[in-house]
Each structure stands twice: as structure tokens, then as C-alpha cells.
Structure 1
Amino acid sequence: MLRVAVVGSGPSGCYTAQSLVQLDPQVRVDVLDRLPCPYGLVRYGVAPDHEKIKSLQNNLRAVLEHERVRFLGAVRVGPDGVPPARLRELYHAVVYCVGAATDRRLGIPGEELPGSWSATEFVSWYSAHPDAADTGFLRGVRSAVVVGVGNVAVDVTRMLARGAGELSPTDMPHGALTALAASEVTDIHMVGRRGPSQARFTTKELRELGTLPDTGVEVDAAEAALDPEFTDPAGLSPPRRRNVEVLRGWTGPARPGVRRLIRLRFFLRPVELLARDGRVGAVRFERTAPDGRGGVTGTGRFEVIEGRLVLRSVGYRGVPLEGLPFDPATGTVPHLAGRVLRGGAVAPGEYVAGWIKRGPTGVIGTNRSCAKETVTSLLEDAPSLTRRDLPGDPLTALRAQGVDPVAWPGWQAIERAEARLGATLGRGVVKLPDWEALLAAARDEGG
């Protein structure tokens, strides 16, 4: 009987487990996660007001409740945890679905100033990730700058403009909700270094900005027109043409009397974060221009945009996992159809799926085909992998090493605790925001 460990319980991990039990009628799968809660970025990366996308948790739940799948949360793999070599002793195969755990940096002076954050850190805070800290993101902030024009940039821009009344029905942690309710942010600048036709957001998310109560949206018509395909979008793909059509609708003045204004800016490349009173106070940008080859070039002209909060949203990046090979150029683990490569040769029993395999590309559904390719490789290798005897139930061995996993009943206890918390606050389910509260709830399985 094939025993497999899947490291990571986000979409790629769950789809890997799903493919395994669908294609092998006897396989047993343990899905390990360093957090006590499953679902990865669906729980901790999808904006709280995107209930339809968050409902994907119901599909992932069905995988983790399968009779041949076992969820083991609060299991750290790597430094200060279970070494990958030990996992290989306990399982016939290990599939790493650990995502892209850090954000890309701007690499410009002033990036370390207080008030300068990655969008990932801001998202983690309002999503109640237990590693996040309330660092006073919004304290004393009236103007914010979001660097990037993808869906994450749209998400954080929308959260900065949302009111408490709109966010109260969500599962947002109460501390973040309270801070956003007290926010004094009135100006939000979302800035891209290329033109509007090259922006990476999807039209559905973009349109949402225009529906926010008491919020206007502006696009500088002259600036956007520097992009020839903004003026004549006929040659664009349908998704990009739809984006341009939405943006063109915002080139007139924003509706009067609104409390907040979102300005979408283009052809501006950040070159320096400027200090004001010991923290970031503005961003210095260089004006860019199309280079005729799909990129941009600097013009030597500069502009300063005020902002005491700067959120960079310029992509994710994988990080090395101790005991596994890593390609720093791509931020991925070298592989062949999902099989981990060590020194160019296949490492028996080690596999990857998701962003750590292919880089931070695609949408949630892309992980299905990615996982299936890896599982196909794994099952082709299964006859040789299962020749090796295992020492017994891996859970027993992990507990003998002092690891105390949060199993599925523990996660269900967390869900009950979050429902109770919401009820006491007059809201629906409200996420527990820290390790102590999560683990205390998980251990109270009878509560």
C-alpha cells in the first residue's frame, strides 16, 4: 500500500491528494501543513469580501475529509521541524506543495523605511494569518501608494477603500476590521510601470473598484494615451481589451462629493522611497515610455507621489526548503514532470507541485493539471517506491519525535471557536488571528 505525504494544504496540495485517491484505490495520503488550519491561500490570501472564491474551501474540504486522506496541521517541515530526510523514511513518497512563500522586492533606496510593506504582509494582516502582526499599517495615513497593477494590487486597494459596514459580514479578524473602520485614508494611488493595456488585473476585479460606496476612480487620460493600444484597443486580446474599456470609462472626472479617491497611474517606475519624519512619506517615480518591444524605457523625468503607506505588489517568489535542491534564478525546485532533480538526476520518492514547481503563475484552477502531472509521475514510480518497508504509522513516529499535529477534529474545533467568536461580536464567523488562540481552540476538541 502506497503511503504519500503531501506538504502543504492549499489548492495544489489538496488537488494532489485528490488525484492520488482518484487514481490509486489503495493509496493513503497525509496532508501536512505548518499551520493548524488548512486551505493555504484560499484561507489566507483571498480577500475576505470575495465570498464566491472563498467558497472553494468547500471543495477542498471534501478532499481532506476523504477516508484515505488525513490532515495533519501544525507540522513544520525543515529547520526547527521535521527534516525532509525523515519524511522520506516515514513515507514512500513526499510531494512538496509549499507555494511561493515570499514577495518580490523593488530593490530601491528607502524600501526598508517604516510604512513600506509588501502587499503580502498587508493581506496576511487582514486575513488573520497567525504570523502577521498588527503593525499599525493605517495609523496617521491619509494617502497610500500601491505599486503594481495586478489582482493583488486591486485587492489591497479595494480593502483600503472599503467601509466597516461592507466588511463586517466577512470573516475578517476584528482587530483589522476596527482599524479599517477608523482609517483616515482618502487618496489611494495604484501605480504601474507600463501602460494600461499591459496591466495584469482581471476585468471582474478591476470593475469592482468602480462600485465601491463613497469612492471615486480616476485615470489620467493623457497619461493612459501614451499607450497606443489604449487609444486603439482593436488588436488586443479580449481580456485586455475589456480592461482598457473599463479604464477608458474612468478618464472623466470622478463623481463629486466622494470621501475617497482611487487614482490609477501608468508609465511610472519607482526609483526611491522618500522619508518624512522618520518613515516613508512619498515615492519618487521615473516617467517611462513604451520601447516598441513590449517593454518600457526611462525618460529621465521624475514625479513624486505623497503617501505614508506604500504597499508593493510586484509578484511572489519561492524560497529554499532545507534538504531540497533549489534554483535561485526561477525560485523553484528543479524537476522533471514533477520529479525532483538532484544534480540533474531524479531523486526517488521526492516530488513537487504548484508554485514551487512552476513559479507563481496561473490561477487556482491551474493547480489541478499541475498536480495531475506530478501524480502521474509518482504513480508510474510506485512499483519501485513500495518495495521499501515503512516503520509503521507516520503519525505515531511524528508524535514520538515530539510533534503534536492538529488533526481534522482539531481544525473543526477551530471552526467552532471562530463561529462562537463571531456570535459574541454580533457578526458571522470571525477568524482567530494568532497562534495561541488557534492552538488553544484546536486542543479543545470537545468545545
Structure 2
Amino acid sequence: MPDDSPSAADGGRPLRVAVVGAGPAGIYTAEALTRRAPVPVTVDLLDRLPTPFGLVRHGIAPDHLKMRAIRETLHRALDDPGVRFVGNVEVGTDITLDDLRAHVDAVVYTYGAALDRPLSIDGEDLPGSLAATDLVAWYCGHPDADRARVEDALAGVRRAVVVGVGNVALDVARVLARTPEELEHTDMPQHVLDALAAKRVEEVTVLGRRGPAQASFTTKELDELAELAGATVLVDPADLPGEDEPRPADRLVARNVDVLRGFAAHTAEPGHPRVRLRFYRRPVRLLGDERVTGLEVERTTVDADGRAAGTGEYEVLPTDLVVRSVGYRGQGLPGLPVDQRSGTVPNEDGRVLREGAPSTGEYVAGWIKRGPTGVVGTNKHDARETVAALLADAEAGVIVPHGDRDDLVRTLRARGAEPVLLDDWRAIDAAEVALGATRGRARTTMHERESLLAAVRAAAGR
């Protein structure tokens, strides 16, 4: 990436910014920096994986073809000459945070919130108990997915319970209830398709501790359940507002209730898998000796403030698999503070706070800034807010280009790292398309890091 373009700040080189995390938040941040800044800015967009797009690649369910197509839009930002994708680089391992900051004038952390939130109940560590993050990473082909653990948990599963009523919970339920034919056209790795084709799931229960009004899934996600080819979606009418009750004032809630009422009119069909949406139940403990055999739940009520309280009524749901999907939380990089309660980096308008004061040249955007809320597009506004703070600091002289600095990629290579640049990613992309063509698909995700890097080396003749 050239360093010789003029800078309005000092007549020398552009302002250099490193963005840590090449998911939507990072890409939107890079786009805002290069397209909206009144002074020249160049961006190194770092990611610990050899591939860009973050949760668009490794979080959105592969049967969401239209939603996953957003990466084509994100790719256009990577083509900007002021942006350099630098994948396969882990901050804290390949380069320290202090060393990174010495190479650039500012750093924006956008690496998301990858850890799951536990239920913190007895039996949660039994085989057959998974975090949604584990299952999603596996079926999306994440290089760090624990394939053996997930496939062991899925083996022989006939009944599953997904705890949580967000979009990820519905994604998990939908994937588990899909027929092999419905998944065959996706870009899932072949071993994932094989394992899902071998499953014999008869029932998937999606469990919410509060009511439909407090659920966080979207109407679009609910509607997609109705499109399942081989499964019937069921809701207990007793869990829904009565027909004589006022229509919910919140339009999203009202639309959701309308869809749920449609499901409540369904009846189970013999021989067809069932997806049950159950509300006002909270998990108490997982049952089983060597692996999960059931989930004990308590009936709840919800007060006027939306808080759930137990009623003392218990029941046991027989199940072979429990998947918790009750939220994500962020973790810190070595040398970067994170609030353990919120799982976010302390910040003010995107400026990182250290000991309560803004840290010069450090910013944050995306989930690690605000928590795991919103949809993919929410990150665009969020990134622009952070970039506005960074550019205001540049205009005020708080951050300025400080002379010539060593090129980051040269430094990484000198230390033995193997950074993956944009042309290298294109080689991976082409290899996945070619692999998919062997099975009549548009693409098949390569899930092993070494396979991804092998595609890079092969394209480079190494």
C-alpha cells in the first residue's frame, strides 16, 4: 500500500489506521475512513483468519443465501486502493498491541464478540450440551470449530432443545430440522452435510424464559420456519395473547404474534419432524449421567417490566441435545481492557477509555463496542459514529501522521508470519468455487486453515 500520497495534516504521508477485525463492522469502518475522510487515509484491515467477512461468512446460517450474499457488497470495500486486507494475523501472537500501534497512527478494534454466555446451571458440561457458537462455527466451516465434539453431540440425536429466542436460536432450529435435500445447495463443508444428512431429528424445541413480546427474533426469521419442507412448526395457543386482548402496540411484536398464531393452528403430522416454540419456561438443570438425557424447566410469569419470575411448576423435557443461544460476549486482546460484565471495551462515542479517560489513537466499533445487538446493517451507522470521532480527533490534532514508519506486512513477514493479502484471498475464493463445482454447488467452504493457506501457496507457485 503506497505511503507517498499527500496528507492535509502535515504535507507528508496519509493518516495510517489499523482496523482489527475484517467482519462487517471492520469493513464498514474501513469504507467510512477511505471514502468520507477530508484528509487522505490508508487502512490495514487485519483479521486472525485467512478470510474476510467475519460473521457474514461464519455466523449467518448457510441456508440464508440472500443474507450471505451481502459479502459481495462488502467485497467492494476491499477493492478500494486505500484498503489493504491483512488476514491470518493474530494481534497478541503475531504482533503485540504496542507494536501494532507503533506502525500506525490509530487503531480501531472491530473484532466482535465471539464467546457464548453460559446458562450457569447444573449439567451444562455434559456431552450433548453445546453453545450455539460451537454449532454455528461447525456448520459454517469456521477453522476453529471443534468438529469432533459437535459431531459426537449430534450422533443419534432424535430430540433437541435450543434455549433462547433470538435469530441465532431459530437458525440452529431450522438447520437441525432441514432435510438433506434442503441443505445440499448450500456452501456447507461436505463433512457437515454428511453429518446432518445422517441425523434423525424428530423434534426441536425452541425455549424462551419469557413471552413472545420479549423475544428478540425477527418476523423474517419466523416466516422462514414456515418454509421448512419436512417439518411442522407448533406453538401452544396458551403461550400467546388471547384473541380478545389488545393488539400489541409494538409493530414488530404484533407481526410476530400474527405469525405465531398461524403456527398455533398447526397440528403435528405423523412421521414429520416437529419444531415447537415454547415460551414462559426457563432451564433449571440438564439431566443425565454420561450425556444429556433431559432438561428440567420451570414455568415462569412475566411482570409489567418484562422480568421473568419462577412459578414453582417444573417439568422435564426429554432430549438428547441442548444448545444454549442466550447471547454473545466479547473478550479483550492482550493489553486491551474489556468490561467483564458487558463484554465490551469501555468507550465513549467509540473512543477507547483507559482508566476512565480517552486513550489517544484507540477506537472501537461493532459488537465489541456496543454489545451483540442489531443486524449486519446496524454496524454501518455504528462504524460511521466511530469514524466521525476519529476524524474529529485528527482535525483537532489529537492524532496526526508521525513521520515514516515501517510497513506492517514487511514487519510481519520478517517475524515469520504468513499474512494473507487480497489477491491471496481471491485464490481461496476461487478454490472454494472450484470445490463447489465438483458437487454442483456455487461454492463449498474450506474449513481447515491449512487448506486455506495451501490454496494461497498453490496460486503463488510456492
Question: Which residue is 1:330 aligned to?
Answer: 342
1:249-284 CA distance string (max 9 Å, x none): 1223425345201111111100100015x1011100
Q: Would the alpha carbon gap of residues 229 and 60 (structure 1) be closer, same or farther in structure 2, given more than 3 Å must change?
A: farther
Contact 1:337 1:374 in 2 (8 A): yes
SS in structure 2 of the partner of residue 82 of structure 1: coil
Match runs of 1:35-434 below 5 Å: 35-78=49-92, 80-134=93-147, 135=149, 136=151, 137-222=153-238, 224-225=239-240, 228=241, 232-254=245-267, 256-276=269-289, 278-382=290-394, 383-434=397-448
SS in structure 1 of the partner of residue 360 of structure 2: strand
Q: TM-score, normalised by structure 2?
A: 0.93
Q: Which runs of 4+ in 1 moved over 3 A?
A: 228-231
SS in structure 1 of the partner of residue 383 of structure 2: helix
SS in structure 2 of the partner of residue 169 of structure 1: coil
Contact 1:230 1:244 in 2 (8 A): no
Question: Which residue is 1:444 aligned to?
Answer: 458
SS in structure 2 of the partner of residue 9 of structure 1: coil
One-letter amino acid matched to 2:48: R
SS in structure 2 of the partner of residue 47 of structure 1: coil
One-letter amino acid matched to 1:61: H
Identity of aligned residues (%): 52
Q: Aligned-pair distance for 1:388?
A: 1.9
Q: Would the alpha carbon gap of residues 266 and 418 (structure 1) be closer, same or farther in structure 2, given more than 3 Å must change?
A: same
Contact 2:110 2:368 in 1 (8 A): yes
Q: Would the alpha carbon gap of residues 339 and 269 (structure 1) be closer, same or farther in structure 2, given more than 3 Å must change?
A: same
Taking the aligned partners of 1:328 and 1:205, their CA distance within structure 2 comes to 30
Q: Would the alpha carbon gap of residues 316 and 6 (structure 1) be closer, same or farther in structure 2, given more than 3 Å must change?
A: same
SS in structure 1 of the partner of residue 288 of structure 2: strand
Contact 1:326 1:333 in 2 (8 A): yes
SS in structure 1 of the partner of residue 276 of structure 2: strand
Unaligned runs of 5+ in 1: none
SS in structure 1 of the partner of residue 135 of structure 2: helix
One-letter amino acid matched to 2:227: T
Contact 1:45 1:124 in 2 (8 A): yes
Q: Aligned-pair distance for 1:291?
A: 2.5
Question: Which residue is 1:14 aligned to?
Answer: 27
Contact 2:27 2:74 in 1 (8 A): yes
Taking the aligned partners of 2:248 and 2:48, their CA distance within structure 1 comes to 46
1:67-100 CA distance string (max 9 Å, x none): 110000000012x231111111000111000111
SS in structure 1 of the partner of residue 323 of structure 2: strand
One-letter amino acid matched to 1:306: P
1:403-435 CA distance string (max 9 Å, x none): 220011111111111122112233331000111
Contact 1:118 1:312 in 2 (8 A): yes
Contact 1:101 1:317 in 2 (8 A): yes
Taking the aligned partners of 1:29 and 1:284, their CA distance within structure 2 comes to 51
Aligned counterpart in structure 1 of residue 48 of structure 2, from 11, 15, 34: 34
Taking the aligned partners of 1:230 and 1:32, their CA distance within structure 2 comes to 53
Taking the aligned partners of 1:238 and 1:440, their CA distance within structure 2 comes to 50
Q: TM-score, normalised by structure 1?
A: 0.96
Question: Which residue is 2:6 aligned to?
Answer: none
1:107-162 CA distance string (max 9 Å, x none): 00000000100111101100000000223132011000000111001000000011
Q: Aligned-pair distance for 1:391?
A: 2.3
SS in structure 2 of the partner of residue 396 of structure 1: helix
One-letter amino acid matched to 2:165: V
One-letter amino acid matched to 2:262: G
SS in structure 2 of the partner of residue 125 of structure 1: helix
Taking the aligned partners of 2:230 and 2:445, their CA distance within structure 1 comes to 27
Q: Aligned-pair distance for 1:229?
A: 6.9
Contact 1:93 1:350 in 2 (8 A): yes
Contact 1:274 1:280 in 2 (8 A): yes
Contact 2:17 2:108 in 1 (8 A): yes
Contact 1:337 1:373 in 2 (8 A): yes
Taking the aligned partners of 2:54 and 2:271, their CA distance within structure 1 comes to 36
User: For structure 1, which segment, 401-410 or 252-261, has the greater mean C-alpha deviation from structure 2 after superposition?
Assistant: 252-261
One-letter amino acid matched to 2:229: P
Taking the aligned partners of 1:145 and 1:435, their CA distance within structure 2 comes to 31
Contact 2:428 2:456 in 1 (8 A): yes
Contact 1:92 1:390 in 2 (8 A): no
Say what the alpha-carbon RMSD is for the aligned residues: 1.5
Taking the aligned partners of 1:386 and 1:393, their CA distance within structure 2 comes to 17
One-letter amino acid matched to 2:175: M
Q: Would the alpha carbon gap of residues 394 and 117 (structure 1) be closer, same or farther in structure 2, given more than 3 Å must change?
A: same
Unaligned runs of 5+ in 2: 1-13
One-letter amino acid matched to 1:75: V
Contact 2:182 2:229 in 1 (8 A): no
